Structure 1
Amino acid sequence: MKAPPKPDDVPVIQTQQLLEADGWTAITQLAHHGMLFVPLGYTFGSGMFEMEEVKGGSSYGAGTFAADGSRQPTELELQQAFHQGKYVAEITRKLRS
């Protein structure tokens, strides 16, 4: 990458600190450096607006409400994640051309 060495005053995050990390900050910082971020938008259709069950995710991307870690993704949350994977693949295919 030809990146300069990390300065000594820049901390290294430890694994246990990731629970406190802000994922959105990571996305915006990486975007400043040219990373392409493909949000889900409202491409998941009516599944985006499901109100009959608890559902994670947003127009930024698929997600799951994990609580204490014992809750597993619902079928709807899995469908949304699968849809986002296909959507990212479609965008990638278009960019490759």
Structure 2
Amino acid sequence: MRKNRRRYLLFHLHREGKPVNEKHLTTALWMSVLSLYGEVHAAGSRLYLLDFDEETGVGVLQCSADSLQQIITAAVVIGMIEDTPVSFEPKRTSGTIKGLNHEISRHA
């Protein structure tokens, strides 16, 4: 049996207005994945929000390597979170969180 490989995605959530909190972002991501790909793919994606700074909008998502492109697509189509217009910008992907450390400090 093959081990599930993970991918880490550094992103910037642009917004107009009040900051978006972590819980609302997570809910919006899951709802977008569910509506685009269904329950089976959503469960297999192993989507997890590792880190998110509400003020800067910079965060890190973890997901399975097989579903990375679908997660990016689902995140990009989110246009509104709790009455706040948003735009999701993927910055960089990596196979390890350590590989993103330099980029995280640069964007924070």
* TM-score, normalised relative to structure 1: 0.32
* TM-score, normalised relative to structure 2: 0.30
Higher relative contact order structure (alpha carbons within 8 Å, sequence separation ≥ 6): 2
Structure with greater strand share of residues: 2
Largest Rg, 1 or 2: 1
